[in-house]
């Protein structure tokens, strides 16, 4: 009887009826082994309770078979969707994902990356392109493959898998302009250390300016991504002397908060106020009225980021810039603006 705590690679090979080299390939390069053999080895590992010695495997292969990822927050479901697909693709190739959160803080992100790199990562996934200068230097010094996600710019040297945030926000703004809106307001995410929020705001500004529409300073509010912040901002905007007829929000969380705030104030959405979001969270289609928003391909982004890093680790040269499409999803919170009030009597 083999002690489950002391099972070795040799024990697994004997139980599966294969060589130790085959067991090693199943653990390190599963794609190079026939499925039926992988199943035999997996059954033997499960039966014996064998746990590979991570340090020994890393020393032998000069790889830890781990990928790190740092996301801004774990509170937003849209990041969870991307991480799930990233992890699924990595697991299929025998890799483990190590995850950390930066709380939208560049200095904290740097410390999280340092901690992950100290564990001997084979690659790293980052969100956005605004990072502490020391972070990129660290990755280059270590010659560690990395990829930016949630952003796309073919003109930069950093590898990226994502979409053009400025262009996406411009598309939503153009849609609302085409409905006839001219009185706009924006609840943006905090733009400091967040290039995604800054680019979305830039897209709104440029599109409105091109249409000859003003965005007054008092109608632009930057808020942290939360329902409460969106609700509070909505109240401030609608209390102004000239309230907007169209509200563009930096993400769905802010938009949903604004929608709930409008409902609590008795404001007709979309009859009096159109509200748009960004992300297309699952909740966006379930609220009433359903939220018009931008559909972000979070799952595809996670999958493609994994594909890029796995190719780099394998010594291949995949394209450094991958642009994904992002679409306007028209639902029930947007409509043409209300008719202007009748002129006062003579």
Give the domain extent around 201.
165-295
80 and 120: one domain? yes
Tell me the average pLDDT across 202-211: 98
Q: How far apart are CA 4 and CA 84, in angstroms?
A: 31
Note whether residue 342 is domain-resident: no
Q: What is the CATH number of the domain that holds 72?
A: 3.40.50.2300
**Domain final residue pick, 34, 60, 86:** 60
Q: What is the CATH number of the domain that holds 32?
A: 1.10.260.40
**Domain final residue pick, 295, 310, 335:** 295
279 and 170: one domain? yes
**Domain final residue pick, 45, 60, 75:** 60
Note whether residue 346 is domain-resident: no
Note whether residue 91 is domain-resident: yes
Note whether residue 337 is domain-resident: no
Q: How far apart are CA 193 and CA 136, in angstroms?
A: 15
- For residue 25, name the pLDDT band (cuts at 50, 70, 90): confident
pLDDT value, residue 16:
92
Q: Worst-scoring range by mean pLDDT, 43-52, 243-252, 322-331? A: 43-52
- For residue 108, name the pLDDT band (cuts at 50, 70, 90): very high
For 188-205, what is each residue's pLDDT tens digit? 999 998 999 999 999 999
146 and 207: one domain? no
Note whether residue 343 is domain-resident: no
Note whether residue 237 is domain-resident: yes
Q: Worst-scoring range by mean pLDDT, 48-62, 164-178, 203-217, 224-238? A: 48-62
34 and 119: one domain? no
- Count Cβ atoms below 10 Å from residue 13 Cβ, excluding itself: 18
Q: Worst-scoring range by mean pLDDT, 43-57, 240-254, 285-299? A: 43-57
Give the 3-state secondary structure of residue 295: strand
Q: How far apart are CA 111 and CA 109, in angstroms?
A: 5
Q: Residue 316 pLDDT > 70, yes or no?
A: yes
78 and 195: one domain? no
- For residue 161, name the pLDDT band (cuts at 50, 70, 90): very high
pLDDT value, residue 4:
47
For 52-64, what is each residue's pLDDT tens digit? 655 445 444 456 7
87 and 148: one domain? yes
40 and 149: one domain? no
pLDDT value, residue 63:
65
pLDDT over 70 percentage in the chain: 93
pLDDT value, residue 51:
65
pLDDT value, residue 207:
98
157 and 169: one domain? no
Domain count, the chain: 3
114 and 257: one domain? no
pLDDT value, residue 346:
59
Note whether residue 226 is domain-resident: yes
Note whether residue 334 is domain-resident: no
Tell me the average pLDDT across 11-28: 87
For 66-98, what is each residue's pLDDT tens digit? 999 999 988 888 899 999 999 999 999 999 999
Tell me the average pLDDT across 29-34: 78
Tell me the average pLDDT across 155-168: 93
CA-based nearest residue to 124, from 58, 61, 71, 54 = 71
Q: Residue 330 pLDDT > 50, yes or no?
A: yes
287 and 173: one domain? yes
Higher pLDDT, 251 or 9: 251
259 and 320: one domain? no
78 and 222: one domain? no
């Amino acid at each position: 009887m083999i002690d489950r705590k002391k099972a070795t690679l040799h024990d697994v090979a004997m139980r599966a009826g294969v060589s130790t080299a085959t067991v090693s390939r199943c653990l390190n390069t599963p794609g190079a082994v026939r499925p039926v053999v992988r199943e035999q080895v997996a059954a033997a590992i499960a039966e014996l309770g064998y746990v590979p010695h991570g340090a020994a495997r890393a020393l032998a292969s000069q790889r830890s078979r781990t990928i790190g990822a740092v996301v801004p927050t774990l509170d937003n479901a849209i990041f969870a969707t991307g991480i799930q697909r990233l992890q699924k693709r990595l697991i299929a190739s025998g890799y483990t994902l190590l995850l950390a959160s930066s709380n939208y803080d560049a200095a904290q992100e740097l410390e999280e990356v340092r901690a992950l790199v100290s564990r001997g990562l084979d690659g790293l996934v980052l969100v956005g392109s605004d990072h502490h200068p020391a972070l990129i230097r660290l990755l280059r010094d270590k010659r560690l493959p990395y990829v930016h996600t949630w952003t796309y710019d073919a003109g930069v040297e950093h590898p990226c898998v994502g979409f053009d945030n400025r262009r996406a926000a411009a598309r939503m703004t153009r849609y609302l302009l085409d409905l006839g809106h001219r009185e706009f307001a924006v609840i943006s995410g905090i733009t400091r250390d967040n290039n995604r929020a800054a680019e979305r705001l830039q897209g709104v500004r440029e599109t409105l300016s091109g249409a000859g529409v003003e965005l007054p300073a008092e109608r632009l509010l930057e808020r942290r991504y939360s329902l409460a912040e969106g609700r509070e901002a909505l109240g401030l905007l609608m209390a102004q002397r000239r309230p907007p007829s169209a509200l563009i929000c930096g993400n769905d969380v802010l938009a949903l908060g604004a929608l709930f705030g409008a409902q609590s104030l008795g404001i007709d959405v979309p009859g009096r106020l159109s509200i748009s979001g960004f992300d297309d969270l699952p909740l966006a289609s379930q609220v009433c009225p359903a939220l018009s928003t931008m559909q972000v391909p979070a799952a595809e982004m996670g999958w493609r980021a994994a594909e890029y890093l796995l190719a780099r680790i394998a010594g291949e040269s995949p394209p450094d810039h991958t642009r994904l499409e992002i679409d306007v999803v028209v639902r029930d919170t947007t409509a043409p603006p209300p008719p202007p009030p009748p002129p006062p009597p003579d």
